[in-house]
Copies of this chain bind each other. A is one copy, B any other.
Amino acid sequence: MSDLKGKRRCRVGIAGFGTVGQAVARILSSGIHPELQLTHVCNRNVARKRVDWVSPDVIWTDSFEDLLDGEVDAVVELIGGISPATEWIESALKAGTAVVTANKQVIARVGGTLANLAATQGRHLLFEAAVAGGIPVVRALREGISSDRLVRIQGILNGTCNYILTQMEQEHVSFSEALSDAQRLGFAEADPTEDVDGLDAQAKLAILISVGLGRRVEVEDIPVSAITPIETVDFAYARRLGCVIRQIAHAELVVDSERTRAFVQPALVPEASSLGRVGGTKNIVVVDGEFGGETAFSGYGAGGEPTAVAVVSDLLAISRGAPLAQIPPEAGRGTDLVLPEFEAPHYLRFMIRDRPGIIATAAEVFSRHGINIDAVLQEPGWSKTELPFVVTLERCGSSVVSAAMDEIRQLDFHVRPPLWLPILSAEEGRG
């Protein structure tokens, strides 16, 4: 692409003209980046997508092949999903076209293979928009603090979950009310599974593990836990503990091991912590470096315009002749094992039909598993037939809690399945 420097404009074709694609087209059509020229828009049934605010020279097409035949310098892949997005990216790179994508699932799963192909072809494959939308965290980790040795990455990577959880916290609404609200405002899909079950954050975390920690893991190896069982009452108890509830993506190097600790799950975090302070649809990524200490990046993790900023910044990097990424050292390796086990204090919430001896029964199980109870909390004013109470546990391993909870779940006093969340303060979540 070096022939573009300062001379020819970089010809850009967009594949997928949804919210993000349209926002990319808006920036490209605004005139603020004369080095970039929108030449093609590709979408199924493209006629219904046509807008009048782009240059009349733009070619509208249903066929991705038209982009590759059209002397496009860079393809922006925004169709989402694994297939045909993967094949399109491959064929673009093979045709000698640079690729910018916001596709977290493709990059998380086959990013290494595609990066190899891009390097072989001498073309760029950039994906700033695939993680944390408008926050330039991929570039920050790859370049800004590239000289540091990162040991831990924690983040709030899904704006939908964060919006739902902060609505439940601040407006005291139920999960389903907060979800409907998010759907009405366009912050959640009609089928919110990928977001609320943690699969979206799981893919993003896999990418951050590769970019930031230089390790490669199988996406599905990262354990996820949904935010759906969280109830309004949990926020009241969390507040008593000085905490809020967030969906946390966590990854860290396990020293002297090929394993990477990683998980995505709702957790209590201190209200005053970097993670606890991020509300609404915002995202944050907090990294810990051996030399630089803690550095945090926050902003809008989703939405058309912030995501488009990431896409167009990648296009500018290409047109300015940014060096090709070397084949990442982790791309050639097999994948690391993921260690899901971690130690932390824990929050357990039970919803029971009250009768004498319940706490004693639970306490006996914990004791048998070598777990120390820190406190038992019970808010007044609830019915005896559907009574929430909370037990906090002293720091212990997640698998130990899991085993104890498997036993307790069998007992007959539950009105609803019990909930357990780790309490992740700055020093917790580690091994």
| A residues whose Cβ falls under 8 Å from a Cβ of B | 5-6, 23, 27, 32-33, 128, 134-136, 139-140, 143-149, 272, 274, 277, 289, 291-300, 305-306, 308-313, 315-317, 320-323, 326
Contacts and interface: CB of A to CB of B under 8 A. Distances in A.
Chain B CB within 10 Å, residue with most, of A136, A315, A323 = A136
Contacts of A143: 136, 139, 143, 313, 316-317, 322
Contact of A309 (B23, B32, B148, B300): B148
20 contacts: A5-B323, A32-B149, A134-B289, A136-B295, A139-B143, A139-B144, A140-B297, A144-B144, A145-B310, A146-B313, A147-B313, A274-B298, A291-B305, A291-B308, A292-B309, A295-B299, A296-B296, A296-B297, A296-B299, A297-B297
Nearest to A281: B293
Main secondary structure of the interface of A (DSSP, over half): mixed
A290 to B, nearest CB: 8
Contact of A323 (B134, B148, B298, B323): B323
Nearest to A303: B293
Given A140-B140, A322-B322, A33 B147 contact: yes
A292 B134 contact: yes
Copies of this chain, complex-wide, total 2
B295 A298 contact: yes
Contact of A320 (B135, B317, B323): B323
Chain B CB within 10 Å, residue with most, of A146, A294, A305, A315 = A146
A305 B293 contact: yes
A143 to B, nearest CB: 6
